[in-house]
Amino acid sequence: MSGVESAQPVLRLQNITKRFGSVTANEAVTFDLAKGEVIALLGENGAGKTTLMNILFGQYTADEGTVTVFGKPLPPGNPRAALDAGVGMVHQHFTLAENLTVWENIVLGAQPLHAPRLRSGAAKAKIRGLSEEFQLKVDPDAKIGALTVGERQRVEILKALYRDARILILDEPTAVLTPQETDALFATLRTAIDLGLSIVFISHKLHEVMAISNRVLVLRHGKLVAERPTLDTDRAELSALTVGAETSAPDLAPATPGAALLTLCDLSTSAIGTAPGLRHANLTLRAGQITGLAGVSGNGQAALSDLISGLVTPQTGQLKVAGDIVTAWSPRDAIGQGIARIPEDRHKTGTIADFDLTENTILETYATQFSKRGWMNWRKAKAHAESLIETYDVRCSGPDARIRLLSGGNMQKLILGRVLENAPRIILANQPVRGLDIGAVNYVHGRLAAARDAGAAVLLISEDLDEIMRLSDVIHVISDGRLSSEFARGTMQPEQLGVWMAGDGFEGHDYAA
């Protein structure tokens, strides 16, 4: 295997089993990691990848099994011991304090708490040295809150390197990066490998797995189902191993775009917290067409989605629905205009966790369809919920179950049913498949495509470029609140979109600041 030394493994996991209640997240997982090796841990969402790595890092305690680092057993449930043994973890959801500076986040916990004072000068010098060595450019004095997602990830990696990590665990590190940032990350990782570090790389993007790893481990339902040297496998085999059974992405016939249903003309909105508002945006959503919106999160997607949902109103410019300029605009107006929403965060804004399925299915229509003279018609509502559960294949104990007990995929199916049942004219799908496994992804995509064919205008907002390119008839890129012009399906390569996502395609165009 390409330059991997076959001495004692730096890391050995033996028979790791972890249960959450009745769910087995990991079952008897065993593998070794050699010095200088990159293992890719592949699997669908919910396959147990993150749980396994959290056990290795000591954030969870395994029910059975042992972790051995450099020949020494690691005490369970102790991140400090893992750090001291040389294990560093870059979490998928960054563990950074936003109001503290870069160097403070890195130094936190690295100097003993009883030390009389912080050694900031020495710390910053060491951080600058590591930045240089590993090509991780970041200003030690910057506040985390002011950094881009890519920069924050560099801070996470620096945190591990600062504490002399010899084993790096990266949990879906590329999920939030542009293609260019991904390339830079890979360059950093190659430097690390050359210096003798070992890496566990968690991903479900097959081309990245093929590009960076020496060996691929496939996890399915918590079990290690396959192990392949990267050179002896290919994307087709890995894809089949990951999913188990074959499910296919929907075949999309060419769209037959119809009338413009929703138009933004030179429209600007105010900023939302640290995320920018829209800046002189132009956009047309047409009937029978899926419009994809590519972009790194926090670049104005929230503003656009809130605008279309009726949560914010335009500051300047015009919003037209079905050709008419909108004067009054609220969520109620938006619903009245036939706009249906799949919200970005199904837990926070998509559902009410402690309401049951019946109540959650009628959140928008309870007043119009399920009540009479101020009295709720629960019988009708329940029958309605049952039919949605049936039609959209929601796996649950019944319409009386609290929705928080559903898995992400089933919750999303219910939301999808709620969205589609009233034959909406415009569908706002904001990250509709985030966190879903491939089976559920294909289901949601198929439904959205069917809605398109039935004449709906669909706006698909996603950080996953593959998803955007697969499903969209036309693509816009959003960067710092600016919207690119429309690119037709098949005219753009991911790298070209990446240039726009990084904000570099907008020069020379008339995008006023």
Complex with another protein: residue 62 or 199, whichever CB lies closer: 62
Return the number of the residue (81 or 381) whose C-beta is nearest another protein.
81
**3-state SS track over 9-62:** CCEEEEEEEEEECCEEEEEEEEEEECCCCEEEEECCCCCCHHHHHHHHCCCCCC
For residue 381, give both structure tokens: 């509502």
Q: Which of 494, 493, 496, 512 is nearest to 504 (CA)?
A: 496
Q: Determine the size of the site formed for another protein (CB under 8 A).
A: 34
- Closest to another protein by CB, 23 vs 367, is 23
Among 12, 35, 49, 91, binds another protein (CB under 8 A): 91
Report the nearest approach of another protein to the CB of residue 99 (Å). Answer: 5
Q: Give the residues across from 48 on adjacent strands.
A: none
**CB-based contact 270:257 (threshold 8 Å):** no
Q: How far is the CB of 487 from another protein (least distance, A)?
A: 37
> What is the rounded distance in angstroms from the CA atom of residue 69 to the CA atom of residue 87?
8
Choose the binding region for another protein from 89-97, 297-305, 326-334, 370-378 (rule: CB under 8 A): 89-97
Q: Smallest gap, in angstroms, from Cβ of residue 209 to another protein?
A: 24
Please list every residue from 49 through 68 that binds another protein, using CB under 8 A. 59-61
Beta strands in 180-296 (DSSP E): 198-203, 215-220, 223-229, 260-268, 281-286, 289-294
As a 3-state breakdown, the chain gives helix, strand, coil percent values, each rounded to 5, of: 35, 25, 40
Closest CB to another protein among residues 110, 130: 110
The token pair at 358 is: 């019946």
- What length is written for the chain? 513
Buried b / exposed e over 411-431, threshold 16 CB at 10 Å, is bbbbbbbbbbbeebbbbbbbb
Per-residue binding string, another protein, 98-137, x by CB under 8 A, is xxx---xx-xxxxxxxxxxxx-------------------
Of 117 and 372, the one with the shorter C-beta distance to another protein is 117
**Cβ-Cβ contacts under 8 Å for 213 (sequence gap 6 or more):** 38, 39, 40, 201, 230
Minimum distance, C-beta of residue 414 to another protein, in the bound complex (Å): 22
| Cβ at position 119, least distance to another protein in Å | 9
Asked if 164 interacts with another protein (CB under 8 A), we say no
> Minimal distance in Å, beta carbon 377 to another protein?
37
**Binding-site member from 82, 419, 426, 457 for another protein (CB under 8 A):** 82
- State which of residues 1, 64, 75, 84 lies at the interface with another protein (CB under 8 A): 84
253: β partners: none
Q: Where are the alpha helices (DSSP H) in 144-205?
A: 149-162, 179-194
CB of 200 to another protein, least distance (A): 16
**Near another protein by CB under 8 A, which window of 84-92, 194-202, 451-459, 474-482?**
84-92
Q: How far is the CB of 40 from another protein (least distance, A)?
A: 23
Single out the segment in contact with another protein by CB under 8 A; choices: 92-100, 126-134, 389-397, 448-456.
92-100
State the Cα–Cα distance between residues 152 and 130, nearest whole angstrom: 15
Which residues contact another protein by CB under 8 A?
59-61, 78-84, 89, 91, 93, 95-100, 104-105, 107-118, 159
